[in-house]
Amino acid sequence: MQESTGQHRQTGSRFSRRGFLGGTAAVGAVGVGAIGVAQGSTPADSAPDGTLTVRLKVNGSARTLQLDPRATLLDTLRERLELTGTKKGCDRGQCGACTVHIDGRRVLSCLTLAAAADGSEVTTIEGLEPAADRLHPMQQAFVDRDGFQCGFCTSGQIMSAVALVEEGRAHTDDEIREHMSGNICRCSAYPNIVRAVQDGKKAMS
């Protein structure tokens, strides 16, 4: 859990920022729509000014946005929707602080183009709470187990932990460490994080 391979978790999107940049390097100047079609996806609607109409369901609320084709989901959540619980850490898909769920799958929002999530349901840390006066069981477990110190990585840790439990990959401490390895805690609160995930799993079941 102390090293991030970044290999176990896919972005879960139809095309990613890396894919976009790689595609443009290979074929020259080409629009996002062409890349989406090349990968078998349907791109978001484009406007005459070059922006895209992106429709998302974020934490249960329908949102329609006009976005630059290059806008990442992370920047869209933070700057356009003011959902700042999702953190920008490395901005390279290596730390896991930006983890959110798209249609129930954990993804790295810094590597996911917002247009790739068009028509999808996005859940951020703000959307986990079942009620305004109650924390999600995994959030409560992190509080009870002191599963954080500075707190910067915590939202990504919790989002990844919730998905991990729902994926059925939290049976043992070693399994938790392996499948949480993409989430880095620079304060090294890993032992408490593992205990928190185990407690959260029990409460979620």
Q: How confident is the model at residue 4 (pLDDT cuts 50, 70, 90)?
A: very low
The pLDDT, as a whole number, for residue 17 is: 52
β-bridge mates for residue 67, sequence order: 52
CATH of the structural domain 17-39+52-127, one choice from 3.10.20.30, 3.40.50.720, 3.40.190.10, 3.40.630.30: 3.10.20.30
Structure tokens at 167: 């994926």
Say how far apart CA 90 and CA 17 lie, in whole Å. 14
Query: What is the domain partition of the chain in residue ranges?
Result: 17-39+52-127, 137-204
Residues 189 and 12 sit within 8 Å (Cβ to Cβ): no
The pLDDT, as a whole number, for residue 112 is: 98
β-bridge mates for residue 108, sequence order: 99
- Looking at domain 137-204, its CATH superfamily turns out to be [2Fe-2S]-binding domain (1.10.150.120)
What Cα–Cα distance (Å) separates residue 98 from each residue in 111, 136, 183, 185, 199?
9, 18, 9, 13, 23
The pLDDT, as a whole number, for residue 28 is: 33
Q: Average pLDDT in the 158-184 region?
A: 96
Over residues 113-143, the pLDDT tens digits come to: 999 999 999 999 999 987 677 899 999 999 9
Residues 156 and 97 sit within 8 Å (Cβ to Cβ): yes
Q: Average pLDDT in the 42-53 region?
A: 77
Over residues 27-47, the pLDDT tens digits come to: 333 232 222 322 334 456 777
Pairing of strands 52-58, 45-46: antiparallel
How many Cβ atoms sit within 10 Å of the Cβ of residue 67?
Answer: 22
